[in-house]
Amino acid sequence: MEKFAGIDWASEEHAVCVVDADGMRVREHLTDHSEAGIAALCRELIGLGVARAAIERPDGILVDRLLEAGITVIAVHPNQAKAARDRYSVARGKSDRFDAFVLAELARTDSHRLWAIVPDSDATKALRALTRTREDLVQTRVELANQLRAQLQAFWPGALIFRDVDSPISLAFLRRCPSPADAKGLGPKRLGAWLARQGYSGGKSAEERMAQAPTGRAGEAETAARRAAVLGLVAALEPIVVQIAELTSQIRSALASHPDAAIFRPLFRDRRTTICPATLIAELGDARERYPTEGALAADAGTSPVAVESGKHRVAAFRRACDKRLRDSWAVLADSTRHWHPWARKVYADAIARGQDHPHALRTLGRAWARVLWRCWQDRVPYDPALHGNLRRLETAGG
C-alpha cells in the first residue's frame, strides 16, 4: 500500500510522520539533522514504500537527499500549511509532530495541487547561491552605510563630501580622517592632491562641500566615541564592498556560460548588465513545469493582483505571497524596458494615464512582459522583437 510522509524541517532535528492511503499514522518520530539521521530517514522512507514526502522548503541538503533517494518531494508554502492545520484541529493546537502530520496529509490528499520539486542544474544552483549571497551582502552594506551616515551627520557632516558614503573613495577618506580633528591638517592643496590620487571626478569640489557643511558641537568625549564608531563601521564596510564586487564578477562569469542567458539578454540594452538577468534565471530555475501557465509565472513574480470577492464587493489586492527576489528583479526588468522599448513605454504610459502610480504601473507592465517572456522561457528561445506581435502592430500604427 502506498504511503506518504510529512517532514517538519528544523535546523537541528526534523519531525517525521508517515501515513497510509487511509490517512492512518504508520510512523511518527524525530530525526537528527546529521549525516546518520538523514541517511537513516531515507532508508526508512524507502523501506516503508513512501511515494511522496511534503516539506515546507524547496531546497536544502535534506531535500536533495530525499530526491536522490528517488522520493517525490512536494514543496508546501508555509501559508498553505498554516491554512491546513484547522482541517485537523478544532482547538488550533500546534506542535512539530502535528505539523508533520498535516504535511503528510497534504501529500496524501492534495499532491495534485502542489508543486513537486524538480532538481535544478548545477549551473543554476551556483548562480542562485551567488546572487542570493550578493543580495544579502548588499543589504548588510546598506544597513552599515546608514549607520555610518547617521554617525557623521551627528558630529561631522563635512565628511559627507561624496555621493555614496560607502563608496571606496569615501571609505578611504574616512579611514584617514574619521573626525574633524583628523582633517585639520588637510588643507585645500593636500586634499586636492589626495583626491587626484584617488581618481576623484566630482563636479563640485570636495573643499566647497566640506566648507558649506554645518559645524558640529560635540564634546571631547562624544567626539572620541563617535570617531571610534566611524572607524569601526568603515572597517566593517570595506571588506563587504570588496566582496560584493568580487561576487559580481563571479556572477558575470556564471551568467555568460548559462544556457538561459540568451533568453533575457535582448531585453537589456547594456550587454554588461549582470545582476538582474542572473537573478531572473536563478529564481525561475530550470523546471519549465513549475510555471505551466503565464499566469502562474505572473503570480510568483508578484505582478498579478489577488482578487477579493464577496457578494457585490470586489477588489484587486496587492499580492504579497510571491517570490520576493523574483518580484524585485522583474520590476527592475520592467522599469528598464519602459525607457527604451516602444511597446513597454506605451503599456507603462497607458497605466499611468489610468491613474496608476509608478509601482502599480510597473506591475502592470511586468504582467504584460510575463505573457511574452513565459513563452520565450518555455520554448527556450531568446526574445525577438520581430516576433513580438503587439510591438509590430504598434510600429505599424506609428506608435
If 0-12 CB within 10 Å is exposed, 13-18 middle and 19+ buried, where does residue 190 land?
A: exposed
Which of 231, 255, 279 is the last residue in one of the domains?
Answer: 255
Are 139 and 250 members of one domain? yes
Longest CA span, the chain: 85
Alpha-carbon distance 39 to 35, whole Å? 6
Are 132 and 198 members of one domain? yes
Distances (CA, A) of 177 to 172, 221, 241, 259, 338: 9, 17, 19, 48, 43
Q: Which tens digit of pLDDT belongs to each residue from 126-147?
A: 999 999 999 999 999 999 999 9
DSSP assignment of 237-257: HHHHHHHHHHHHHHHHHHHHT
Backbone angles phi, psi at 341, to 5 degrees: -90, 120
Task: Give the pLDDT confidence score for residue 269 in this predicted structure.
Answer: 85
Are 150 and 184 members of one domain? yes
Are 178 and 146 members of one domain? yes
Section 348-370 average pLDDT: 97
Q: How many domains does the chain have?
A: 3
Contact residues for 83 (Cβ-Cβ < 8 A; gap 6+)? none
Section 214-224 average pLDDT: 88
Are 239 and 318 members of one domain? no
Q: Which tens digit of pLDDT belongs to each residue from 342-353?
A: 999 999 999 999
Distances (CA, A) of 344 to 207, 255, 335, 371, 386: 44, 25, 9, 13, 15
Residue 231 one-letter amino acid: L
Entry pTM: 0.89
Alpha-carbon distance 186 to 182, whole Å? 8
Contact residues for 254 (Cβ-Cβ < 8 A; gap 6+)? 123, 126, 127, 130, 278
Section 89-114 average pLDDT: 91
β pairing state of 50-55 and 3-8: parallel
Are 7 and 86 members of one domain? yes
Alpha-carbon distance 208 to 158, whole Å? 10
The enclosing domain of 191 has a CATH number of 1.10.287
Q: Which tens digit of pLDDT belongs to each residue from 34-57?
A: 999 999 999 999 999 999 999 999
Average pLDDT along the chain: 92
Kindly tell me if the per-residue pLDDT of 198 is higher than 90.
no
22: containing domain = 3-116
Task: Give the pLDDT confidence score for residue 63 in this predicted structure.
Answer: 96
Alpha-carbon distance 75 to 110, whole Å? 12
Secondary structure class of 334 (helix, strand, coil):
helix
Are 241 and 267 members of one domain? no
The sign one gets for the Cα dihedral 276, 277, 278, 283 is: positive
Are 274 and 327 members of one domain? yes
Which of 212, 229, 255 is the last residue in one of the domains?
Answer: 255
Are 361 and 284 members of one domain? yes
Distances (CA, A) of 180 to 197, 201, 213, 365: 22, 23, 12, 49
Which of 220, 255, 290 is the last residue in one of the domains?
Answer: 255
Contact residues for 274 (Cβ-Cβ < 8 A; gap 6+)? 248, 251, 252, 255
Are 194 and 269 members of one domain? no
Do 65 and 38 touch, CB atoms closer than 8 A?
Answer: yes
Do 159 and 177 touch, CB atoms closer than 8 A?
Answer: yes
Are 331 and 356 members of one domain? yes
Task: Give the pLDDT confidence score for residue 206 in this predicted structure.
Answer: 67
The sign one gets for the Cα dihedral 61, 64, 68, 74 is: positive
How large a percentage of the chain has pLDDT more than 70? 98
Distances (CA, A) of 318 to 301, 308, 364: 12, 10, 12
Are 140 and 74 members of one domain? no
| Distance in angstroms between the alpha carbons of the first and the last residue of the chain | 63
Give residue 195's pLDDT band: very low, low, confident or very high (50, 70, 90): confident
The DSSP code for 215 is P
Q: Which tens digit of pLDDT belongs to each residue from 69-100?
A: 999 999 999 999 999 998 888 777 789 999 99
The enclosing domain of 38 has a CATH number of 3.30.420.10
Distances (CA, A) of 203 to 161, 163, 190: 11, 11, 18
